[in-house]
Structure 1
Amino acid sequence: MNVHIADDHEVLLRGYQSVFEGEDINITGYSNNGIELLDWLKNNACDVLLLDIEMSPIDGFEALKLFKQEHIKVKVIIVSSFGQEMFVAKAIELGVKGYVLKEEAGDVIVKALKEVFAGGVFYSKKVQELILSQNLDVDYDKIIEEKVTPRELQVLELLHKEFSSSEIEEELKMSGSSLRTFLQRLRNKFMVPTNVGLAKRSYLYLKNKI
């Protein structure tokens, strides 16, 4: 896997070299800002780009917009210290394939690279929690690490319709213990402690399914 890194912190760049040792990850080069990155991509290619947001004179988001204008196609993972809602929402809007916070361990970045390189999408646990807690308007299938199964989707739909546990059991011909297991798995996937929270959080997910 060939990876290019766009970040203006030299210490972090050296850190990447250490993290990638022993992995099948080759660093093709570095860019310290958006202008250097665009120049590099016009004449070179990489499998995945690790992109910081805070760069000058062209930041990561401006670079992403210019990619479209220049018809540059590359899989992008944002690696940023910015974990606020507005930054994550903007990254999703601009079509990034992954988002990892700089404070997270290096093995998370390696996992993100492998997932995106294989054609998937990777949002770290902390970023997933932000997306879910803020109800950002995204396709949850793209950010939930463990996918919702068809049977779990049936449970989720009935829970969202305010069916009681006994009504769900009757509707799906399911035992009480089985339903409790399904609900526990769904709470884990959507990162909520209660069924009430699960019903609320399911709205955006179901909007993309029904």
Structure 2
Amino acid sequence: MISVLLVDDHELVRAGIRRILEDIKGIRVAGEVNCGEDAVKWCRSNRVDVVLMDMNMPGIGGLEATRKIVRYNPDSRIIMLTIHTENPLPAKVMQAGASGYLSKGAAPQEMINAIRAVYSGQRYIASDIAQQMALSQIEPDKAETPFSCLSERELQIMLMITRGQKVTEISEQLNLSPKTVNSYRYRMFSKLNISGDVELTHLAIRHGMLNAESLINSEKCV
């Protein structure tokens, strides 16, 4: 029996996935949490085979939660299930230790296939995302976005800023000093050739790193 933890800040999304998995023989939902921090705590206190992780959530988000869970348990099998499929996120997520990457637009059967694949020790990346990643290796100039130049930590802080989180909040959640967060922030601005958070948000929207729903949710959380 494959046990699965659902991590998403939208209750309807978790309910939908739970209903799908409840009908699948050999898979059971072991738990549900609504943020990255609780996912980390849950995985430290409970045994689970596969974590279905959302990327954009209040708090540390899915990327940092993945990094923390894998650091605590290198054998963790995490599938990022997200609306974000643009470079460089898939590659950064896999580098952080995830075992799979799926779009939330994937068919239920593909999600089930992904769960079974990572449980058996394989990696699973949706075919369209895998093709995009492969093309980025062959034709990097065509596949790159402005965000491709960011480090994994810079990308994480970028996602948190565009969700409306302040430097002090980010520093607390990532266990970094405000000075260190600001250093990453200004280095990121320099790389992207922008001057502030508003420009960063506009750039993220333009390149598919942030959508209207994420922006509305971030405003609700501020």
- TM value normalised by structure 1: 0.61
Greater Rg over alpha carbons, structure: 1
Question: Which residue pairs with 2:8 in the alignment?
Answer: 7
Please, which of 26, 42, 49 is the counterpart of residue 51 of structure 2?
A: 49
Distance in 2 (CA, whole Å) between partners of 1:35 and 1:58 is: 7
Distance in 1 (CA, whole Å) between partners of 2:95 and 2:132 is: 15
Identical aligned pairs, as a percentage?
24
Question: Which residue pairs with 1:29 in the alignment?
Answer: 31
Q: What amino acid sits opposite 2:41 in the alignment?
A: D
Distance apart, 1:18 and its partner CA: 2.2
Distance apart, 1:69 and its partner CA: 4.6
Please, which of 61, 72, 91 is the counterpart of residue 63 of structure 2?
A: 61
Q: Does the 8 A contact of 1:19 with 1:107 survive in 2?
A: no
Deviations 1:137-157 (A, max 9, x none): xxxxxxxxxxxxxxxxxxxxx
Question: Which residue pairs with 2:82 in the alignment?
Answer: 80
Distance 1:67 1:17, change over 3 A: closer
Question: Which residue pairs with 2:128 in the alignment?
Answer: 126
Please, which of 99, 111, 114 is the counterpart of residue 97 of structure 1?
A: 99
Q: Does the 8 A contact of 2:70 with 2:76 survive in 1?
A: no
Q: What amino acid sits opposite 1:15 in the alignment?
A: G
Deviations 1:13-55 (A, max 9, x none): 1111222113311000111001111111111010011111111
Distance 1:10 1:95, change over 3 A: same
Distance apart, 1:117 and its partner CA: 0.7
Deviations 1:92-128 (A, max 9, x none): 2112111110011111100000111111111111111
Q: Does the 8 A contact of 2:67 with 2:97 survive in 1?
A: no
Q: What amino acid sits opposite 1:67 in the alignment?
A: I
Figure out how many residues of one structure are paired with residues of the other and give that number.
137
Distance in 2 (CA, whole Å) between partners of 1:102 and 1:93 is: 20
Q: What is the DSSP-based 3-state SS (H/G/I as helix, E as strand, rest coil) of the residue aligned with 2:68?
A: helix
- TM value normalised by structure 2: 0.58
Q: What amino acid sits opposite 1:9 in the alignment?
A: H
Unmatched 5+ residue regions in structure 2? 139-222
Q: Does the 8 A contact of 1:67 with 1:73 survive in 2?
A: no
Question: Which residue pairs with 1:207 in the alignment?
Answer: none
Q: Does the 8 A contact of 2:77 with 2:99 survive in 1?
A: yes
Which is richer in helix? Answer: 2
Q: What is the DSSP-based 3-state SS (H/G/I as helix, E as strand, rest coil) of the residue aligned with 1:85?
A: coil
